[in-house]
Amino acid sequence: MAVKPENEAELSAGVAGARGPLRVQGGGTRGFQGAGELLETGGLAGIELYEPGALTLVAGAGTPLAEIEAALEAEGQRLAFEPMDHRGLMGTGGEPTIGGVVAANVSGPRRIQVGACRDHLLGVRFVDGTGQVISNGGRVMKNVTGYDLVKLMAGSWGTLGVLSQVSLKVLPKPETQATLAVEIADAGTAVRALSAALGSPFEVSGAAHAEGQALVRIEGFEGSVSYRAGRLAEVLAPFGAVREVAEGAALWTGIRDVLAFHGVPGDVWRISVKPGDTAAAVADFGTGQIVLDWGGGLIWALVPEGTDLRARLRVPGHATLVRAAAGTRARIGMFHPESAPLARIAEGLRARFDPRGIFNPGLMSAPVGA
């Protein structure tokens, strides 16, 4: 039986009355099958406030992402951190929700320029493990004292509390964009090309390598984009022939959603490293297909089922198992093991906000024996 609150009061009562673990779920697009009774947040939906002039939006955590993007599109605005749609990669259905985006800090290729989801999050309301409603932040960016719960909840994956409402900063859409491509086969050369573009003064908003191409995106007013595209072509010229991609918007949606791995058998890993270590990391992995984002700082890897890339990673980094069979997830664990000091901090936070340990138990813990 699932808990399906229709408002914050029902959510609070449902959590307070829980007699065992709760598996928190928004749109169900990630395919997470944890322990406990299902708690669905889809009933906590609706845009509660949208002020285009103030660049702010407030919505229930269960609001479909598509509804928010449609409202922003009508006003020529957007979520600048371009959150990923996991359904094609995971082979799932459902509808992505804004609460799920915040809970996992989902951020796309533009993160290198504008930051992550957490950097656009103004405020949160959530229910902690005792059923108490907690509010933090507001509709303007400001410093806080004590716990910065806005940042803390972004990326906590529902292990500290269940989001009921989020407030976000939105930004205007650019007038146009241009994407430059250079045919480059190996990851090391591609990262050098992308680093050259990112190190230029031409405001790159996307830097990726996929299917043998180094890809660079710029956005803004038409005159500015035209000028910067010409100058960036000069920067990239030492790495090969530079061409402009006609369908740039669709291409970056594919990079965002890792289109190259949709429907392809194998496990999918998401690895964060220093761009300078990318070539060494890719060499450590051995077999598999690779997509690079964030100038080489983010590696998407498709490998044979059951492969533990984390054990092969010899450079400093963070490896998350995104798609795999349940047995592989149980054996390897989804998240990179935390260092002892960080694990103590995380344990203390969970004890503070979820003293009964009922929210998504074990999701962010290392597997037994690891």
Task: Return the pLDDT at 370.
Answer: 44
What is the average pLDDT score of the chain?
91
Distance CA 258, CA 100 (A): 18
Say what the pLDDT of residue 29 is: 85
Other Cβ atoms within 10 Å of 67 Cβ, number: 16
pLDDT at 259: 97
Each residue of 166-223: pLDDT tens digit?
Answer: 999 999 999 999 999 999 999 999 999 999 999 999 999 999 999 999 999 999 999 9
Confidence band, pLDDT 50/70/90 cuts, at residue 138: low
Q: What is the pLDDT of residue 1?
A: 60
Summarize the confidence of residues 57-78 as an average pLDDT.
97
Q: Are 126 and 161 in contact (CB under 8 A)?
A: yes
Distances in Å between the alpha carbon of 279 and those of 12, 194, 257, 285, 335?
48, 13, 22, 10, 22
User: For residues 281 and 316, is the Cβ–Cβ distance under 8 A?
Assistant: no
In this structure, of 231-235, 286-290, 331-335, the range with the lowest mean pLDDT score is: 286-290
Contacts with 188 (C-beta within 8 Å, 6 or more apart), sequence order: 278, 279
Asked if 214 contacts 194 with a C-beta cutoff of 8 angstroms, the reply is yes
pLDDT for 146 equals 55
The structural domains of the chain, with segments of one domain joined by +, span: 8-172, 176-256, 259-332
pLDDT value for 368: 43
CATH of domain 176-256: 3.30.70.1710
In this prediction, residues 14-40 reach a mean pLDDT of: 86
User: Whole-angstrom Cα distance, residue 319 to residue 370?
Assistant: 15
CA–CA distances in Å: residue 314 to residues 185, 227, 311, 317: 23, 41, 8, 8
pLDDT value, residue 142: 41
For 50-59, what is the mean pLDDT? Answer: 97
Please report how many Cα atoms fall inside a 13 Å half-sphere around the Cα of residue 40, on the Cβ side. 14
Helix ranges, 76-200 (H)? 87-90, 98-103, 111-114, 149-153, 187-198
Question: Which pLDDT does position 324 carry in this prediction?
Answer: 94
Q: Is the dihedral of CA 192, 251, 63, 74 positive or negative?
A: positive
What is the structure's pLDDT at 362?
78
Beta bridge partners of 292: 209, 299
The pLDDT of residue 286 is: 76
Average pLDDT on 33-58 reads 92
We find that the CATH architecture of domain 8-172 is 2-Layer Sandwich (3.30)
| pLDDT of res. 141 | 38
Q: What is the CA radius of gyration of the chain?
A: 21
Per-residue pLDDT tens over the stretch 331-362: 998 998 888 898 898 889 999 999 999 998 87
Average pLDDT over residues 298-320: 94
Cα separation, 293 vs 111, whole angstroms: 10
Give the CA dihedral 258, 261, 263, 265, nearest 10 degrees.
-150
